[in-house]
Each structure stands twice: as C-alpha cells, then as structure tokens.
Chains A and B, each alone.
Chain A
Amino acid sequence: MSILLSTQHLTMQFGGVVAVDDLNINIPKGEITALIGPNGAGKTTAFNVITGGYQPTNGRVIFDGAVIAENCPRSKMKRIYNGSYTEPFRHTVVNKSDVITRLGMARTFQNIRLFKDLTVFENVLIAKHCHIKAGLFAATFRLNRGEERAMSQDALSLLERVGLLESRNEKASSLPYGKQRRLEIARALATGPRLLLLDEPAAGMNPKETDELSQFIVDIKDSFGLTVFLIEHHMNLVMDISDSIYVLDYGKTIAYGTPAEVQNNERVIQAYLGVDEA
C-alpha cells in the first residue's frame, strides 16, 4: 500500500504554545484516515500546516513523494522552541496553499468558509479556475468557450452529485447549514484533488444527517478515487468509515490504530473522559 501523505516530526508552535508536537502520520492511498482528539488538541492546526496555511516550526510534510513543506526553528523561535523533537530539519521548503491545492490536495473548513455573497454554482465554478489554461485576455474575450463550457458542465455535474443542483442559483449564505457543508465538499472536489481533507464535516448535523454524510463520504471516495483525511467529533461516523485513526491530545499523538484498537485504548479513554462522546 503506497503512502500519499506523510508528516515527519511535524511541530507547530505559536509563541510558547506547542499546538502540534512531533506529529508522524502516514496516510495510505485510497483509504479513509481520521484524526480525532479533544477540543484544542491541535487537529485543525495540523490541517493548516499540511495544506500550507502555516509554515511548520519544525519537521516535514511529504505529499505523493515530494517534500511540500519543511522547516526548522529560526532566530527567536530557536530560543523558545519547546517541541519534543529537537533534531532540526536542514532545508526550508515553503509552498502557499494555492500551490498545494493545485498539486492535488483540497480541504474544507471547520467554520464554513464559503464565498457567501456568490451563488452556489459560482462557488463550485470558482474552484475550477485553478486549472484554467486560458490567459486573462483569452478568457476576457471568450476565446476559451470550450474550456469555459467544460468548467460549467463539471460544476453542474458536481452539484448534481451532492444534491444541490436545484439550489444552484441561490446565494451560498442562504443555504441551510447541512447543505452549506455539502457545498464546501463539492467546492473542494471541483479543484480535482487526490487527497481530500475534511475538518469536522458533520459538525452541527443530527444523527440522520450524520449517517447520510458517512455514506456520502464513502461514495465520493470510491467514485472519485480519493484518499480521505478527516477530523471529526462524531464517533459513530469515525468508527464506521475510517480505516485507521490517529488520536491527538495536547498536540501529541497518543494513539494510532484501527477503530477497534483505538476504542479500547486506555489513554484514549482517559483523554476523552469527561468529554462528550457522541
């Protein structure tokens, strides 16, 4: 089984707070991997570092065999570095998130970030822009009619796939919450990813919607040939569809394994003690 994404000793420190500490993950191609942990464990931060939102303090991110981010503590950070892994990585590799998206990694956000004032259709269509071939003038003078038509058709068929075709002309912000989440997934899919990162896709959904979402994630994974990496608090969903699970607590990885292994892990149970187990 080949690995699509991996991190090596990935550490992210904000001021004195080590939000992600020595994270080492391997995400096999074609599988669903989950990242769980109590609030503030550093899950979203890990996503942000992997997708190029933040530059890691130390460590390396490898996507499809290529190093997409690498860094070591410098200047002031060198003095206050608090991570548990102290061997510094020597090179610096920086890629902005737009570059990483074009390499084939797309994400959704925990606190939905749609283009609120634009229509549902435009939201998806915009995500197709990143692979446009026509230049600015060609596009302005509509010399790329074929490309433009293909983009709209792809966007429409994606909307149909996620069941939002009828809402295509509505403003994104006018959609109910559950549909906004699905639109975010459709928009991420429109960039043509190989790896899809979902940050709490079921947040705010009722059990029925959550079940539908589980099914939906498995469906799109199969039909688009995706690898999925997801953060989720709904344990039913995580246990149902994940092939393997990483558990974070205070930035550190406290467990890794199959759903069954993780469920019975002492440290995991302790970390979640007192935390609502949905």
Chain B
Amino acid sequence: MKKTIKKSTIYSLAAAALFLVFLYWLDANRLSQGMLISVLQKGAILALVATSMNLLNGFTGLFSLGQAGFMSIGAYTTAILIIPVRSLDGVYYMNGVHPAIMNLRLLMANSPPFLQSVYPFIALLLGGALAALIALLVGLAVLRLKSDYLAIATLGLSEIVRAIFSSPQFDQITNGSYGLNKIPNFPPMLFGLIPSLITPFIITGVSVAFIVLLINSSYGRAFKAIREDEIAAEAMGISLYKHKEMSFVISSFFSAVAGGMLAMYMRSIEAKTFSITLTYDILLIVVIGGIGSVTGSVVSAFLVTAAKEWWLRFFDQPLSLFGFQVPLFRTGFRMVIFSVLLMVVVLIYRRGLFGTNEFSWAGLIKRLRLKRPAKKEVE
C-alpha cells in the first residue's frame, strides 16, 4: 500500500518536472511557438475557472452562473493596480484617472523595488479577495434559500457588475465603455528564475492543487454530501448554509484570480469581454470534462481552447482543391465544426470525458496494460 503511494508521487513529480522542462523549452523558443504558447496559457487560465466552477457545480451541487462576473472583478482590480503609472493618463485619456487611484499608484511606484515585483501577485490576490467578499454578501442573501435561487442571483450579479463597469459614472475608475489597456503581461517569479511565460501555469497549478486538497479534505466530503442529498447531509449534522457559503466564496475567489490572469493575458479588457457567453464557455468546458472531475475540467480546458483557437483554424481559410473552391470554408466555419464536434463528444460521453473520475497513475497503468480500446469508460 505504502509503496504504491510513493511510486505515484515519484511519477507525479517526474511528470511535473518534464512539463516544466517543456515550458522552459517553450520560453527559449517563444518566437517560433507563439500559437502553442498562447493556447496553453489561455488553457491554463480557463482550467482554473473551470475547476473553480466545478467545485461549486460538480462537488457542492450548487448551480451558479456568475463566473464571468467574478472574473471581471478580478480582471479590473488587477488591471487598475498594474497598468504602469506612466501609461495611466494615456489609458484614461477621455475622462482622466480618479485621483485616489492615481495617488495609490504613485505611492506604489515609489515603494522599494522588491515590493514592486510582488505587486502583480498582490493585485491578483486583492481581486480574488474582493470577489470573495461580494460572494460572501450575495451568499448571505441567497444561500439560505432553495438552491435554484443561486443561479438566478449570480446571473443577475454578473450582469450588474458588467453594467457598473461600463457605466459612465465609473469612468474614472473603469474607463467606462473604453475598457482598460496597456495591461502588463504576466510577471516573472522568483527574481526571474521563473520566466513570465511560465507564471500562469504556476498560479493555476497551485490554485488547482489547493482546490483538489480541499475536495479531498473533510470539508470537501461534506460538500459532496450536500451534492448527493441535502436533507441527509443536514441530518448528519452538516450545516448546509455554512458549507455552501464556503464553497461559493472559494470558487469566486479563484474565478477572480483567473480573471486577473486573463487581463494580463489579453493585455486589454472591456466590460463586454465578461458577458454571459464567457460563463457559458466555461460551463461548456466543465460539462465536456465531466461535472465532478477536476481532471476533466483541466484537460477539457486545454482541449477546447486548442480546438477552438488553433486546430480548427484551418476551416476558416478559403480552401481550393484541384483548382476548385470548396464552399463553406470561410471565416466562422470553424465554429460550426466546433459545435458539431461538441455534440458528438456529448453524445458519446454522456457524463463528460471523465465522468466523476480523476486521473491516477494506477488507473493509467491499468489502462495501458489492458491494450483493448477503453470504450467502457463512461460508466
């Protein structure tokens, strides 16, 4: 028993090391691997939101549609705190920056260089904390009610946040409908030992590891009990309200951290970026991966991103075979193919690619030994 545990830890460490080597290789070849890097980075960001959504929907049985809203809170907080001071006037050229923000940013700019290098991370954490606080308040109001209300409340919240961020009243903070730009890319970590290209993978890795540890802790088991049967869970002494609130706050925190990373990735954001379609995209990733599987969410985030933004690009180019112009191949056709593929995947894997299963080395080895095609996976 003990030996297998040790073995799997060694495998995991080896896999992580290999991936890290690969990331350093990517960093060395970043000029030629632009598409791969961009897909992997976006995949990593979406993997974190999808996992945090899964914590709520898949593990606690609470249906929330507020991911985009919490992401935008993280994105705006981060952007406001990290756009270089010298660019601020340019970014807010229409209405000017709010003096409070300007003063804070000047204060930050004049602090010692060591602090300067951690500000981006503090900005991500602050964005997360703000989202967590808002989730706490919303939860206070709706989590005591029947679970269905959460979906409606979070959907509403998401739209309200978007409206606030784009409203003229907050022009000096959010720059209204112009959005924010000149957002710096990911910061390097450990004094440049970890190049900025790798940062989002580290943040997502640490965050997902936290969520996995939580899910496997006693509190995570209580979340699952609530998912399985609220009445029974409550009869077993589990406070429904308290545990739902925990799950909701933590999920919102990580959604906002991912939102902050998205701001760094896109370099410019506007309120429209965080419309309800973003939440649907994430929901789709969760469903494809398997509701109740973290592995599923992570794998599916990368697959969906790669398919959508890279592998299917080819369908958007005009194609001529033997001098014959194939119809349909034009901008947008890729999304049609993507939707068809989705339907096929959902039809074959009714409970998502992973169902509620998680990756384990023992499982993988067993699968490799049984050389037969593993069709029975969806159980």
Q: List chain B residues, Cβ under 8 A from A118.
A: 221, 224-225, 228
B309 in the interface (beta carbon within 8 A): no
Q: How many residues of A contact B (CB 8 A)?
A: 39
Partner of B235 from A101, A131, A140 at Cβ < 8 Å: A101
CB distance from B16 to the nearest CB of A (A): 19
Interface size class of B (residues with CB under 8 A): 20 to 34
B232 contacts A114, C-beta separation under 8 Å: yes
Asked if B29 CB lies within 8 Å of chain A CBs, one says: no
Q: Is A132 an interface residue (CB 8 A)?
A: yes
**What is the chain B residue whose CB lies nearest that of A122?**
B221
Contact with A along B131-170 (1 / 0, CB 8 A): 0000000000000000000000000000000000000000
Which residues of A sit under 8 angstroms from B236, Cβ to Cβ? Answer: 98, 101, 106, 126-127, 129-130, 187-188, 190-191
| A97 touching B235 in the complex, CB below 8 Å, given contacts A117-B356, A125-B221, A136-B246 | yes
Q: Which of B39-47, B102-110, B212-220 contacts A (4 or more CB under 8 A)?
A: B212-220
Tell me if A250 counts as interface (CB < 8 A to partner B). no
Complex CA gap A148/B231 in Å reads 25
Residues on A with beta carbons closer than 8 Å to the beta carbon of B235: 51, 53, 97-98, 101, 106-107, 109, 113
- CB contact between A142 and one of B217, B221, B222, B229 (< 8 Å): that residue: B217
In the complex, whether B210 has a CB less than 8 A from a CB of chain A is yes
Q: Type the 1/0 row for A179-215, where 1 means its CB is closer than 8 Å to any CB of B.
A: 0000000011011000000000000000000000000
- When chains A and B are docked, how far (Å) is the Cα of A241 from the Cα of B59? 41
Whether the Cβ atoms of B221 and A129 lie closer than 8 Å is yes
B interface list, Cβ under 8 A from A = 210, 213-214, 217-219, 221-222, 224-225, 228-229, 231-240, 246, 356
Residue of A nearest to B232 (CB): A113
User: Considering only CB atoms, which chain B residue lies closest to A132 in the complex?
Assistant: B218
Q: CB-nearest residue of chain A relative to B215?
A: A140
Report chain A residues within 8 Å CB of B228. Answer: 115-118
Give bound CA distance, A144 to B213, whole Å.
13
**How far is the CB of A248 from the nearest CB of chain B, in Å?**
22
Judge whether B238 and A98 touch: CB under 8 Å.
yes
Given contacts A113-B231, A126-B221, A151-B218, 17 further A-B contacts (CB under 8 A): A53-B235, A97-B234, A98-B236, A98-B239, A101-B234, A107-B235, A113-B235, A125-B221, A129-B221, A129-B222, A132-B219, A136-B217, A139-B217, A140-B219, A144-B218, A148-B218, A190-B236
Give me 29 A-to-B residue pairs in the complex whose CB atoms sit less than 8 angstroms apart, sorted by A's number: A51-B235, A53-B231, A96-B240, A99-B239, A107-B235, A114-B229, A115-B224, A115-B229, A116-B228, A118-B224, A118-B225, A118-B228, A122-B221, A122-B224, A126-B221, A126-B224, A127-B236, A129-B219, A129-B222, A129-B225, A129-B237, A130-B238, A136-B214, A136-B217, A139-B219, A144-B218, A151-B218, A187-B236, A190-B236
Question: CA A188 – CA B238 in complex, angstroms?
Answer: 12
Q: Which residues of A contact B222 (CB under 8 A)?
A: 126, 129
Q: Please report the C-alpha to C-alpha distance between residue A139 and residue B225 in the assembled complex, in whole angstroms.
A: 17
Taking CB atoms, residues of chain B closer than 8 Å to A126 are 221-222, 224-225, 233, 236, 238
Instruction: Say how far B106's CB is from chain A's closest CB, in angstroms.
Output: 35
Contacts of A141 in B (CB 8 A): 213
Task: Looking at the assembled complex, report how far the CB atom of A127 sits from the nearest CB atom of chain B, in whole angstroms.
Answer: 5
With A53-B231, A113-B232 known to touch, is A136 a contact of B213 (CB < 8 Å)? no
A220 sits at the interface (CB 8 A):
no
Q: Is the CB of B232 within 8 A of A115?
A: yes
Chain B residue nearest to A137 in the complex (CB): B214
Q: Is A218 an interface residue (CB 8 A)?
A: no
Chain A, 81-121, CB within 8 A of any chain B CB:
96-99, 101-102, 106-107, 109, 113-118
A237 → chain B, closest Cβ, in Å? Answer: 23
User: Measured between alpha carbons, how far is A144 from B217 in the docked complex, in Å?
Assistant: 10
